[in-house]
């Protein structure tokens, strides 16, 4: 198997896991979202450490904690990714799967907006048209439903800012992820111990099956990240561009056809505007790359 095909398989596996992960959160929906989050943080840490050792990744933990600026950036990204995880978990366990799909469809366009507002990047006419379409889609929902789509916007905002910070951290995906979880573990452990002490926790009292599912959350958090990190080094950016829509598309299909969440005309119109914006910006990006192909490959992280 060629390196490019192997990379495509690895990255596609990561997006498949991210796209199907609502099934996991539905399985643990009896557990409060904040408790699920705490377990996810705690169990992700040893899994990330094990993956670094098994995959023979460079050990950057010491370098990170000795670099105040880098450590500060990763602490900020830890807060953002934990916020993203909480919103996502709460939404899935409260039958708002469709809203999470909307949030991750919005995210690429929100990332463009961040590049303009924060990094002072120039906005092309095509990107402007895409952002306008996405804004119309969000405004359509606000006007039609009389409420702010806070789940979708919260996911796009937290993950967009997370990506912006990680763009400026010179560490590989797994090392950065390990530092983020280690930073959050003390608070998560204190919270879980307090829950079990007061009898409100479900890890000890809810049975073996549910306890194992909560531990599995750490695996489902760290493993797709490692698959993605390995895959992105082997495939062209154009392939990655298409793959990034696989996850919210799978979540969308689960929401509508498996969990039968309401998908009325207003939601349809909102999605159509956002999908149109994504189609425009993706098509333009592909056209530019064909005219002036580039060799460097980028790497990034996913949240869910």
Residue 296 forms part of a structural domain: no
What domain count does the chain have? 1
Q: What value does the mean pLDDT take over residues 111-129?
A: 85
pLDDT band at 296 (very low <50, low <70, confident <90, very high): very low
75 pLDDT higher than 60: yes
Q: 123-172, pLDDT tens digit by residue?
A: 888 889 989 999 999 999 999 988 899 999 999 999 999 988 988 888 88
- In whole angstroms, how far apart are CA 64 and each of 82, 223, 235? 20, 22, 28
What residues make up the domain containing 67? 3-291
Tokens of 243: 């793959």
- 218 vs 82: CA distance, rounded Å: 13
Residue 31 forms part of a structural domain: yes
101 pLDDT higher than 90: yes
pTM beyond 0.85, yes or no: yes
Residue 103 forms part of a structural domain: yes
pLDDT band at 78 (very low <50, low <70, confident <90, very high): very high
- In 36-144, beta strands by DSSP E: none
Q: 202-223, pLDDT tens digit by residue?
A: 888 778 899 999 999 999 999 9
- 249 vs 289: CA distance, rounded Å: 24
Q: What percent of the chain has pLDDT over 70?
A: 93
Residue 301 forms part of a structural domain: no
Residue 280 forms part of a structural domain: yes
DSSP, collapsed to helix, strand or coil, labels residue 230 as helix
CA distance between the termini of the chain: 30
Residue 194 forms part of a structural domain: yes
Residue 73 forms part of a structural domain: yes
Residue 297 forms part of a structural domain: no
271 pLDDT higher than 90: yes
């Amino acid at each position: 198997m060629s390196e490019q095909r192997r990379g495509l398989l690895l990255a596609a596996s990561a997006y498949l896991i991210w796209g199907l992960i609502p099934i996991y959160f539905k399985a643990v929906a009896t557990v409060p979202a904040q408790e699920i989050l705490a377990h996810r943080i705690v169990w992700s840490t040893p899994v990330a450490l094990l993956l670094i050792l098994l995959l023979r990744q460079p050990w950057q933990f010491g370098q990170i904690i000795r670099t105040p600026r880098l450590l500060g950036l990763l602490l900020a990204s830890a807060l953002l990714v934990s916020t993203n995880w909480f919103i996502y978990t709460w939404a899935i366990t409260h039958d708002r799967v469709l809203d999470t799909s909307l949030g991750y469809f919005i995210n690429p366009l929100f990332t463009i907006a961040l590049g303009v507002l924060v990094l002072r990047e120039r906005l092309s006419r095509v990107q402007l048209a895409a952002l306008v379409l996405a804004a119309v889609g969000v405004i359509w929902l606000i006007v039609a439903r009389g409420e702010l789509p806070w789940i979708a916007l919260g996911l796009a905002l937290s993950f967009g800012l997370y990506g912006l910070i990680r763009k400026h951290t010179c560490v590989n995906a797994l090392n950065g992820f390990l530092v983020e979880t280690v930073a959050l573990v003390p608070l998560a452990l204190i919270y879980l111990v307090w829950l079990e002490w007061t009898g409100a926790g479900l890890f000890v009292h809810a049975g073996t099956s549910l306890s194992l599912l909560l531990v599995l959350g750490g695996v489902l958090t760290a493993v797709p990240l490692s698959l993605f990190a390995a895959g992105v080094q082997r495939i062209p950016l154009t392939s990655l561009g298409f793959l990034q829509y696989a996850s919210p598309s799978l979540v969308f299909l689960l929401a509508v056809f498996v969990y039968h969440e309401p998908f009325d005309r207003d939601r349809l119109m909102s999605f159509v505007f956002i999908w149109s914006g994504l189609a425009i910006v993706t098509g333009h990006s592909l056209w530019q790359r064909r005219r002036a192909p580039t060799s460097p490959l980028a790497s990034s992280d996913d949240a869910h």
